[in-house]
Amino acid sequence: MNSAPPLPRTFRLIVTGGGTGGHTYPALTAIRTLRARLAAGGGALDVLWIGTEDGLEARVAPAEGIAFTTVATGKIRRSSNPLKMVSPANVRDMARVPLGVAQARKVVADFKPDVVLATGGYVAVPAGLAARMCRRPLVLHEQTVRLGLANRRLAGSATRIAVSSESSLPLLPESVRDIAVVTGNPIRPEVLTGHPDKAVGALGLHAFDRRLPTVYVTGGAQGAQQINEVVRDTLPWLLERANVIHQCGPANVDGLRHNAAALPAELAARYHLAGFVGPELPDVLALADVVISRSGAGTLAELTALGKPAVFIPLATSAGNEQAHNASHLERSGAAVALLGEVTPDALRAATTPLLTDPAQRAAMSDRARSHGRPDAADRLVDVILSAATPG
């Protein structure tokens, strides 16, 4: 992985993927890392992002100064009932795929990329197929334990498949295992640079009892009703044993603040409620001894890189039930706790009690979580991209 080929003066990269942050941010981190690598060698990066007009990537790419274009796409609406898969919406969208492939083929042929990087999401399929038609190297990156639907469709067209976990390798089709490499899931480098005392100052946590562990609760940028409710119903018990930073989503602040108003003053002093945690997130993560959160691929990558003990409450409606697979994968090795199915206050108390009361158990889980982390994932993925551009 460290014997990358000589760097070209200008490297041309097409990136495709997005819809959600799980597909978008690893691609963005890879772009930034590749750009820095090339610049250090006196080269430059010329990059074009193929996405959808309503996906997160449509905002992220232009904000980063990345050229952006769209193609027609078709989204599969999943169902456990195969008959429901043949819905009018699915049939209508699938009819758009040939148009998207034709559009993407023209984009790829005109841009002449050295490599096409696909990070998943339904928009990746037309561009990935176009890469094969135009005989351009295609690198897939999979963030989750199991290949997502788009990457499964593209696996047979790929030059290299970068996966985030060793446990993904035996789950790949046998025909493509020899082109797979474990890189990890790229994370934002700033996540690794947090400092606990900065979180105390930025959020005004001076009433926290630093002799107690600190729990960070998050349901993502918009919050998660399931997590908010179970933490609300467990809050007095939690605050008797820990400080709590609760990122609940902007729309949920008022209701949770009303609930917290009934807390005894001593406990209320150890509770910080926030609608959103922004630039201070690296410092909050550095302060946290335990994290309660969803188990999306990006979250797992960040928490394992930091070695944070975690109680995961997977999003039950995630595509392919991927969040449950992610959480269960870490739980099997003792690197996290996964709460599956109905999550009750009793279940949350049982999961968090050992982590809050036993520093040795917290430390052991931290070590096991860190063993799954790959803080150098972006550099590893860049190695794969560069090597794919130099066959043999």
Q: What is the pLDDT of residues 341-369, one digit of tens each?
A: 889 999 999 999 999 999 999 999 999 99
CATH (domain of 64): 3.40.50.2000
User: Is the pLDDT score of 82 beyond 60?
Assistant: no
Looking at the fold, whether 104 and 121 belong to one and the same domain comes out as: yes
3 occurs within a structural domain: no
Looking at the fold, whether 289 and 342 belong to one and the same domain comes out as: yes
At 65, the pLDDT band (50, 70, 90 cuts) reads very high
Beta bridge partners of 97: none
At 94, the pLDDT band (50, 70, 90 cuts) reads low
The stretch 222-247 carries a mean pLDDT of: 95
137 occurs within a structural domain: yes
Looking at the fold, whether 325 and 202 belong to one and the same domain comes out as: yes
Looking at the fold, whether 173 and 199 belong to one and the same domain comes out as: no
Measured distance CA(195)–CA(280) in Å, rounded: 9
Measured distance CA(187)–CA(26) in Å, rounded: 6
User: Is the pLDDT score of 51 beyond 60?
Assistant: yes
92 occurs within a structural domain: yes
% of the chain residues with pLDDT over 90: 80
How many angstroms from the chain centroid is the CA of residue 116?
20
CB 301 within 8 A of CB 309: no
The stretch 228-246 carries a mean pLDDT of: 97
Measured distance CA(392)–CA(388) in Å, rounded: 9
383 occurs within a structural domain: yes
Looking at the fold, whether 126 and 213 belong to one and the same domain comes out as: no
Looking at the fold, whether 16 and 113 belong to one and the same domain comes out as: yes
The stretch 367-375 carries a mean pLDDT of: 96
The stretch 23-43 carries a mean pLDDT of: 95
342 occurs within a structural domain: yes
Q: What is the mean pLDDT of the chain?
A: 91
Looking at the fold, whether 81 and 40 belong to one and the same domain comes out as: yes
Looking at the fold, whether 30 and 160 belong to one and the same domain comes out as: yes
337 occurs within a structural domain: yes
User: Is the pLDDT score of 79 beyond 50?
Assistant: no
Backbone angles phi, psi at 228, to 5 degrees: -55, -45
Q: For 153-205, what is each residue's pLDDT tens digit? A: 999 999 999 999 888 999 899 999 999 999 999 999 999 999 999 999 999 99
285 occurs within a structural domain: yes
Looking at the fold, whether 66 and 98 belong to one and the same domain comes out as: yes
Looking at the fold, whether 312 and 357 belong to one and the same domain comes out as: yes
User: Is the pLDDT score of 75 beyond 80?
Assistant: no
User: Is the pLDDT score of 89 beyond 90?
Assistant: no
Domain total in the chain: 2
Looking at the fold, whether 154 and 80 belong to one and the same domain comes out as: yes
Q: For 267-310, what is each residue's pLDDT tens digit? A: 999 999 999 999 999 999 999 999 999 999 999 999 999 999 99
* pLDDT of the residue at 77: 44
* Core vs surface per residue 250-269: b (16+ CB within 10 A) or e: eebbeebeeebeeeeeebeb
Looking at the fold, whether 197 and 332 belong to one and the same domain comes out as: yes
At 36, the pLDDT band (50, 70, 90 cuts) reads very high
**Range 151-160 contact pairs with CB under 8 angstroms and sequence separation of 24 or more:** 151/118, 151/120, 151/124, 153/125, 153/128, 154/118, 154/124, 154/125, 154/128, 154/129, 157/128, 157/129, 157/131, 157/132, 158/128, 159/115, 159/388, 160/384, 160/387, 160/388
The stretch 256-269 carries a mean pLDDT of: 96
Q: For 108-161, what is each residue's pLDDT tens digit? A: 999 999 999 999 999 999 999 999 999 999 999 999 888 888 999 999 999 999
4 occurs within a structural domain: no
At 59, the pLDDT band (50, 70, 90 cuts) reads very high
* pLDDT of the residue at 390: 73
* pLDDT of the residue at 92: 58
Question: What residue numbers bound the domain in which 161 lies?
Answer: 10-187+376-388
* pLDDT of the residue at 256: 96
At 336, the pLDDT band (50, 70, 90 cuts) reads very high
pTM confidence score: 0.87
